[in-house]
Amino acid sequence: MEHDTGAAGPAETAEPPETAGPPETAGPPETAGPPATGEPRVDAALSPLGELDELPVSEHPGVYDRIHEQLVEVLGELHSAQTPAGQGSAEQVVG
């Protein structure tokens, strides 16, 4: 009579998964900038984002502030253009 020892037989040698070698290029991949939004004024406001890599980090907040100001202005104009005349915004209280 044979006794089961719990062993599954000879251990199979598993090959490690193949990994990709180091990247062919040195440095970060180049990006073409932010994707187009379909609104030229928004695209123009976002264009400085592509220049951040060339600036010291200490100058990034100023760039973000200018972009934010431009976006608030453009989005406000777009919102007012979409609101029909005689109707207020949702923020107004009807009394």
Q: What is the pLDDT of residues 28-50, one digit of tens each?
A: 555 566 788 888 999 999 999 99
Using alpha carbons, select from 49, 51, 21, 18 the residue that is nearest to residue 35: 49
Asked if residue 37 lies in contact with residue 70, where contact means CB atoms within 8 angstroms, the answer is no
In a domain, 40, yes or no: no
Q: What's the whole-model pTM score?
A: 0.52
d(CA 34, CA 32): 7
In a domain, 37, yes or no: no
Find the domain containing 73 and state its range: 57-82
Query: Tokens in use for 56?
Result: 């010291």
In a domain, 42, yes or no: no
Using alpha carbons, select from 81, 58, 62, 80 the residue that is nearest to residue 70: 62
pLDDT exceeds cutoff 60 at 64: yes
> Which one of 23-32, 53-62, 80-89 scores highest in mean pLDDT?
53-62
d(CA 52, CA 56): 8
Stretch among 48-52, 57-61, 75-79, 90-94 having the lowest mean pLDDT = 90-94
pLDDT exceeds cutoff 80 at 69: yes
Query: Which amino acid is it at 11?
Result: A
User: How many domains, in total, are found in the chain?
Assistant: 1
